[in-house]
């Protein structure tokens, strides 16, 4: 019984360490912006929606370009590394992962919409 508890404690400890390291890596890779801060800068940057095409077509921030996270590994060169990159997805999960990927590829000016598209109250465009 003690061995099982010891194993569980080690696994939980490793999970906690992983979460802490991941959050530090994310903080170094991307700057979270409120909607107001995001609006101030995204028109002078590359606005990338990393949601899937169907999500994008159902509604996206005006001026956004769709590069789904599932395709980012193959399409990241469509994003210029010398200009700021503004990312968003539905709730920050995919945009966070996209930011980490782009950071590894040498991108340095990476920003993401805090709360994701689900919290967006600005102008949107739908495909109709």
Instruction: Identify the pLDDT of residue 123.
Output: 87
Mean pLDDT of 7-16: 83
Output the pTM of the full model: 0.81
pLDDT digits (tens, 9 = 90+) for 104-128: 999 999 999 999 999 999 889 887 6
Residues marked active site are found at 89
Q: How far is CA 84 from CA 10, 29, 44, 81, 111, in A?
A: 41, 13, 8, 8, 8
pLDDT digits (tens, 9 = 90+) for 24-78: 665 666 889 999 999 999 889 999 999 999 999 999 999 999 999 999 999 999 9
Domain 30-125: assigned CATH number: 3.40.250.10
- The residue length of the chain stands at 128
């Amino acid at each position: 019984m003690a061995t099982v508890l010891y194993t569980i404690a080690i696994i939980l400890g490793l999970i906690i360490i992983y979460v802490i390291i991941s959050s530090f890596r994310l903080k170094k890779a991307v700057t979270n912006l409120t909607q107001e801060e995001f609006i101030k800068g995204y028109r002078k940057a590359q606005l990338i929606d990393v949601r899937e095409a169907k999500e994008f077509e159902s509604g996206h921030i005006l001026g956004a370009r769709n590069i789904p996270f599932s395709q980012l590994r193959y399409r990241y060169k469509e994003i210029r590394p010398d200009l700021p990159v503004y990312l968003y997805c539905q709730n920050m999960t995919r945009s966070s992962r996209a930011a980490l990927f782009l950071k590894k590829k040498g991108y340095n000016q990476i920003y993401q919409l805090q709360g994701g598209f689900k919290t967006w109250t600005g102008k949107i465009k739908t495909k109709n």
